[in-house]
Structures are given as structure tokens and as C-alpha cells.
Amino acid sequence: MKSKLHAIFGAVAILCITTFWLSTVVSELFLDQASVVVIKNAVLSGMWLLIPSMAATGGSGFSLAKGRGGRLVGVKGRRMKIVAANGLLVLLPSALMLASWANAGRFDSAFYVLQGVELLAGAVNFSLLALNMRDGLKLSGRLASERPVPRASR
């Protein structure tokens, strides 16, 4: 049951990050500034779902890893530390600032530089979480650890 909850929490987190990232890109490239304001506020509101799901993912993962060792468990833990630091030190402050600036109609170069930083940090977190998902599937036995090596032709 614990592993199912861990998977659900992780899926919610990665879905939130994906939704925030894609919504931002689409609004910036194809929609007007009013839509960008709506998206920036929606992303900020979505933190009420993302932050608890990330905390639950980390907590349940830590609980599942108790008593287990191995390279994959260690790598997943190190990745989660980067994800957490990136989220707390880059993504959350960026979301707060970008929503504030968007609400004030401040779409200057600082806005777009910070938007670029936020998109890059979001892509990093998505990538790290996807790698953790892959490794979690390996640990659970739902994904083969190694690909079979093809035999050489005679």
C-alpha cells in the first residue's frame, strides 16, 4: 500500500510540474498578456497541490527506502534533495515573483529572464523526477534493470 501511495504522490507531482511548464510555454508563445497573468496565478495556486505531493513523495520514498540499500536507492535520494532545493530556492520564489510582476503588468526583460530560469529549473525537476520514476519501477521489479545484450551474429 505504501508503494502505491508513493507512486500516486509522485505522479501527481510530475503531472503538476508538466502542467505548469507546458501552460507557461503555451501562454508565453501563443496567448496574450492577460492569459499569461491567469497562468502565473494558476501556477501559484497550484503550489497548494504540488508542495504537499512533493513532500508526501519524499516522505513515503524515505519510508520505503528504510532498511534498503543499493545504488538506485542512494541515487534517488540524492536526486530528491536536488529537486527539493530547486523547488524551494528557485521555483517557488520565481512563481511568487512572476505572479506579482504579471499582476502588476510588468512584462519587462527581468520578467522574461526569470521566466527562463523558472522554465529551466522546472525542466530539471521534471527530468530528475522522471529518472526517479524509472528507477522506482526498477526497484519494484516492474521494469527490467538491464536490457538484454544481443548475441553476436556468427
Q: Which pLDDT tens digit goes with each residue over 47-94?
A: 999 999 999 998 888 888 887 777 888 898 899 999 999 999 999 999
The number of beta carbons lying within 10 Å of the beta carbon of residue 55 is: 13
16 vs 50: CA distance, rounded Å: 6
Query: Is 105 strand, coil or helix?
Result: coil
CA dist list (Å): 51 to 14, 46, 58, 67, 110: 11, 9, 11, 26, 26
Residue 146 confidence (pLDDT) = 62
Give the mean pLDDT of 33-55. Answer: 96
| Band of residue 1 on the pLDDT scale cut at 50, 70, 90 | confident
151 vs 86: CA distance, rounded Å: 43
Q: Is the pLDDT of residue 38 over 90?
A: yes
Cell of 125: 525537476
Name the pTM for this structure.
0.85
54 vs 73: CA distance, rounded Å: 17
Q: What is the mean pLDDT of the chain?
A: 90
Question: Where do the H-state alpha helices sit in the chain?
Answer: 2-30, 33-65, 71-86, 92-103, 109-140
Choose among 120, 114, 90: nearest CA to 102: 114
Going by the DSSP 8-state scheme, the letter that residue 149 receives in this structure is P
The class (CATH top level) of 2-140 is mainly alpha
Residue 78 confidence (pLDDT) = 92
153 vs 31: CA distance, rounded Å: 55
Choose among 76, 90, 78, 75: nearest CA to 123: 90
